[in-house]
Structure 1
Amino acid sequence: MSLYTVCVLLSSVSFLGYGVSYFTGPHMKSEFKRFQLEKLGLLTVVLELLGAFGLMVGFFFYKPLLIISAGGLALLMLLGLIVRLRLKDSLWISLPALFFMVLNSYILWGALQ
């Protein structure tokens, strides 16, 4: 299994997990309240879930969907990183958004090659 395949699987499974956690536990919803973005919580989670499914479907069946999904998730994580920086969250707390932004940027770059 190549590094690229592992990255696509890691990102898609992670975003599926984040999406499901929004509906199964209070932590994700409380984070959106803390960000003062409660109204965007559901939209963000739907975009994460669509991105996760898009990565998988795009990887195995339809490359343009992989490109759109990886770019969308990278952009979503850039926006998440900006929100965390504005709230003056620590680097440690902001690291997941940075990591997934870089990871999905790598997936996008690989898909464009």
Structure 2
Amino acid sequence: MSFEINGKTYETDEEGYLINLAEWTTDAAVHLAEEEKVPLTDNHWEVINFLREYYNEFQIAPAVRVLTKAIGKKFGEEKGNSKYLYDLFPYGPAKQACKIAGLPKPTGCI
């Protein structure tokens, strides 16, 4: 599977996750978010950029519990909770946000 933006083709797996993580761009993120029906706000970008930094540092996409704790530590308690993250990414903060961030599906996600 694949999609194209501005003449560039992005390959995805059968679930829509980017195959080549290095190809991720903000344009790709916007496209993936549209497919997921997630309107990107500054709060979404905050989580997406956090996930990309986390992945670069640890080479793993965090599961939702780890993500929730880490977001709370970095951005404050009001953002470090499941309700806030599910409001942003209704189909699963770790799973859906990782897809939009161009990262692999987190371990443990169905």
Higher Rg of the two aligned structures: 1
Q: TM-score, normalised by structure 1?
A: 0.33
More helix per residue: 1
Greater share of residues in strand: 2
State the TM-score, normalized to the length of structure 2. 0.34
